Structure 1
C-alpha cells in the first residue's frame, strides 16, 4: 500500500470528507431553490460542519487545488459584496474543474506511454473505457491506494482499505464520498463506465468497488 497504508488526497482529512459530502448532497438534491444551482457558501458549510470559517476556507482551497471543488462568484442584483459559492466538481460539463481535466489528460498520456513500452493495446472495453481506467488508477494511487482492476468483473479491488482505522461511525460517509470522487473522475474522463457501489464486505479492511457499463 502506498505510504504504508496511509490515505492521501481529499479523503485524508475527515473534515474535508464532511465538506465534500455536503457538496455532493447538494448536487444530488439540486434543490437550492433560492439559486437554482447546487452551490454552498462558507457560512452554510461552517454551520453544517461546526468548523471555523478559516478552517473551512483552508480545506476548500485544498479541494479546489486538487480539482474536486469549483468556486464561483455569486451574481447579485442588489448592493453588497458578492459571496463565493462552492460546488462539487462532478465531471459534468457544467461542473468540470480545469485541474480535473488536466489530470485526466495527463493520465491518458501516461497510460499510452506505458502501453507502448509494454507493447500492450487498449482495454477490450474500448478506447474511451481505457482512458477512464487510466484516470481512475491515477486518482486512486494519488489517494494512497494500490488498485487492482478486473476488467471482466468490472471491479476495483482496494483491499486493504487505508481507512480501516477510521471511527466506525465515519465509514459510511467515507465510502459514499470516495465513491462520489471515483464517479467524478470517470465522468470527467468520459466513456461507458460508471462507479456503481462499494460492495458489502465481510472484514473492515476489505474494499471492492463495483463498476458498471452505462447505456450507450
Structure 2
C-alpha cells in the first residue's frame, strides 16, 4: 500500500492483528506459535501496532510465583480495551475537523451531530495515514475506498478486508459516538471497496 498503513503494511502484522481481533489477551508465545515468527519479530510487530493505537497491552494477574506475562488485545474501544493512543489521535482529528469546518464554513449536508462528525474525522484521518483516499458520503453513510489497494492480493484479500473492517470499527468506537461499520458493499469488481456505516438506533 502506498506509503501507508505503516502499522499493517506488513502481512505478518495483519495476521497478528487478525489473531488479536479473533481472541484477545494473547501472550507473545501464543502469537509466535500461531505465526511461526521469531519472538523478537513478533514483539516488534506488536509494538508497531500499539504505537498506531490498534493494540493494547496488560500485565497478567498471577496468584502463583513467576513473572507475569504481558497479554495483548485488539483495541476495540470497549471499556477494558481502549487505547490511549487511539483516543488521543481521535481527539486531535476532531479538533482539526472542527477547525476546517470553521475555516471553510462547510455544512455537512447531513444531521449527523457533533459526535458522529468527530468519528468521521478520526476515520478519515486514520485511513489517510494508511495511504487510502477515502470519499465519505455523510448522507448515505458510506466510505468509498476505491480503488482497493489490496485487489491484487487475492490470496489474502479476505483476511485483509476483515482486519481493515475491524480496525475501522475500532477507530469509530474509540472516537466515541453512534457510528459503527455495517459491512462492505458487495461488488463483482475486486478494486471496488465501499464501506457502509450504520448509526446505532437507526
Q: TM-score, normalised by structure 2?
A: 0.95
**Structure 2 SS opposite 1:56:** helix
Deviations 1:172-199 (A, max 9, x none): 0100000000000111111111101112
2:5 is matched with 8
Report the counterpart of residue 136 of structure 1 in structure 2. Answer: 123
Matches of 1:203 and 1:182, distance apart in 2:
22
The CA distance in 2 between the partners of 1:135 and 1:7, in whole Å, is 16
**1:8 positional shift:** 2.3
Query: May I ask how many residue pairs the two structures share in their alignment?
Result: 201
Whether the 8 Å contact between 1:11 and 1:178 is mirrored in structure 2 is: no
Q: State how far apart, in whole Å, the 2-side matches of 1:94 and 1:78 are.
A: 24
Please name the residue that 1:90 is paired with. Answer: 76
Q: List runs of 5+ in structure 2 lacking aligned partners.
A: none
1:215 Cα deviation after fit? 1.5
Quick one: distance in 1 between partners of 2:187 and 2:36?
Answer: 31
Instruction: Verify the 8 A CA contact 1:92 1:187 in the aligned structure 2.
Output: yes
Q: How many Å separate the matches in 2 of 1:21 and 1:197?
A: 17
Instruction: State the Cα deviation string for residues 39-62 of structure 1 (Å, max 9, x = none).
Output: 000011111111111110000000
Matched, 1:205 2:191: yes
1:16-165 to 2 correspondences below 5 Å: 16-26=13-23, 38-121=24-107, 123-165=110-152
Partner of 1:30: none
Deviation at 1:203, TM superposition (A): 1.6
**Does structure 2 retain, via aligned residues, the 8 Å contact 1:11–1:174?**
no
Q: In structure 2, how many angstroms separate the alpha carbons of the residues matched to 1:6 and 1:198? A: 24
Q: Partners in 1 of 2:193 and 2:118 — Cα distance?
A: 23
Contact 1:39 1:86 in 2 (8 A): yes
Deviation at 1:76, TM superposition (A): 1.0
Give the Å deviation of 1:91: 1.1
1:118-139 deviations in whole A, cap 9, x for unaligned? 0124552111111110011001
Poorly superposed stretches of 4+, deviation over 3 Å: none
Q: Tell me, which stretches of 5 or more residues in structure 1 are unaligned?
A: 27-37
Is it true that 1:185 corresponds to 2:182 in the alignment?
no
